[in-house]
Structures are given as C-alpha cells and as structure tokens.
Amino acid sequence: MPPVSASQLCDRPTTVFSWPRPHPILGQRSTVRVEFVNPFLQAATEVLETELGAEPARGAVSLRMSDSTSQQVTALVRVYGAIAGYVLYSMDDATARSIVARIQGSPCDQLDDVAQSGIGELGNVITGRAATLLAEAGYSSVLAPPQVIVGLGTMISHADERRLVIPLESIAGAIDIEVVLSAAGTPHQQGGVRGGSKPPLTRS
C-alpha cells in the first residue's frame, strides 16, 4: 500500500468522536478539552487505517501521571500557539516494527535508523492531519515535526504531568495517544511547563 500524505487526507469530513458529558476522566474543570484531543485522535485513526488497512479500535480513556516515556518507542509532537503542550504516540518495540513492516512491505527485524525514520514519517503524516483539523476547529497552532524517542523511561518534562491516555488497538499492535495540552497561558495540571513555552526534552 503506497504511503498517504497529509494533503490526501485534508478533504475527508471531520469525525467528531463522542465523549460522555461530563466526561468521567476529563471532568468539568480539566484543562485538557475534548476539542483539543479529537484532532489527534481522528488523525491517528485515519492515518493508521490508511497505512495498515484496518481501522484501529479505541479503548477506555484513562489518566497517567508521569514525566517520562511510558513505552519503548515514542513519537513526541510538541504543540505551540492557541493551544500548547505535547502529544505522545507510544508503543512497544514489536508494534513499531510491525507498523514499519506493513508500511514498507518487508520484514523489520530491528528498530534501526531506517525503521525509526518510518515511525517518524508516520508521525509526520498524523501531525499534518491534526494541524489541519485544529485549524478547522479555530485553533491556530504550530505542530513541530515528531521526535522519535527509543527507550522506556526517558524524561521529557521536569515534573510529573497529568496525561490523558487514549489507547488504540491496531492490527499491528497497541498504541497509546498521551495528551498534555491546554489553552495558551494555562498551567498544565501538575506543575510542569506552562502553555506557550517549549517543554524540555532530556534524554536519559
């Protein structure tokens, strides 16, 4: 299957994922708002379906307190502008290799530089689609190119932050979307970095 570009996805209708009101995890006073989360969820769902040939299933939403990566392979997308923070696409090594193998049409035995580049490119396509959806929702934001981080427990912020975790189960394996976003100028929920500034990245 040939790779899909962000421009090829732009003409798709916007999908509104439904959430209970008030959401049992987001609650009434959370700074992570549904309209911030949906563009990343929709973008990931669309791109994974196109690249892997099957729509991923969404699992139960949860919260996670952490300052580090939670899986072996992570694509980190930083967000600046009307909303700020970051989004993580987290997976284990086997899932990352399975995704790369399905995209390139040949086995991927190790997560070498070429395989990591493939995960980064997948993140780029998801990011491009999410940026389009954010703009359509009225949030002018800049999404930095994804950083691929290999290693469990790599520190990405100076303090524990409350992440909204949305699990997706794809035919290649499980992927967690971890969201730390708020309106610009609003502090994240547990210390950490304030919206509009660049969150630090420290490799262990």
pLDDT in tens, 146-201: 899 999 999 998 878 889 899 999 999 999 999 898 887 665 433 333 334 444 34
R_g over Cα of the chain: 16
Roughly what angle, to the nearest 10 degrees, separates helices 34-52 and 93-104?
Answer: 50
Q: Give a yes or no: residue 191 inside a domain.
A: no
Q: Give a yes or no: residue 189 inside a domain.
A: no
Q: Give a yes or no: residue 155 inside a domain.
A: yes
- Residues 191, 105 contacting (CB under 8 angstroms): no
Indicate the length of the chain as a whole number: 204
Percent of the chain with pLDDT over 90: 43
Say which residues have a Cβ less than 8 Å from residue 175's Cβ, sequence separation at least 6.
44, 48, 56, 89, 90, 91, 95, 167, 168
To the nearest whole number, what is the mean pLDDT of the chain? 78
Q: Give a yes or no: residue 200 inside a domain.
A: no
Please state the domain count of the chain: 1
Report the candidate in 35, 58, 45, 34 with the shortest Cα–Cα distance to residue 12.
Answer: 45
Q: What number is the average pLDDT over the span 58-78? A: 92
Q: pLDDT confidence of 110, banded at 50, 70, 90?
A: very high
Quick one: pLDDT at residue 96?
Answer: 97
pLDDT of 117 above 50: yes
- Supply the DSSP symbol for 4: P
CA-angle at 29, arms to 28 and 31, nearest 5°: 120
pLDDT in tens, 19-37: 444 444 444 444 457 777 8
b/e 164-176 (16+ beta carbons within 10 angstroms → b): bbbbbebebbbbb
Q: Can you tell me whether residue 93 is helix, strand or coil?
A: helix
Q: Give a yes or no: residue 88 inside a domain.
A: yes
- Residues 125, 5 contacting (CB under 8 angstroms): yes
CATH number at residue 165: 3.40.1550.10
Partners of 73 in the beta sheet?
91, 150
Quick one: pLDDT at residue 32?
Answer: 54
- Residues 36, 83 contacting (CB under 8 angstroms): yes
Q: Give a yes or no: residue 36 inside a domain.
A: yes
Q: Give a yes or no: residue 125 inside a domain.
A: yes
Report the candidate in 30, 33, 51 with the shortest Cα–Cα distance to residue 129.
Answer: 51
Q: Give the span between the Cα atoms of 131 and 31, in whole angstroms.
A: 19
pLDDT of 11 above 60: no
Q: Give a yes or no: residue 70 inside a domain.
A: yes
Q: Which domain holds residue 125?
A: 6-183
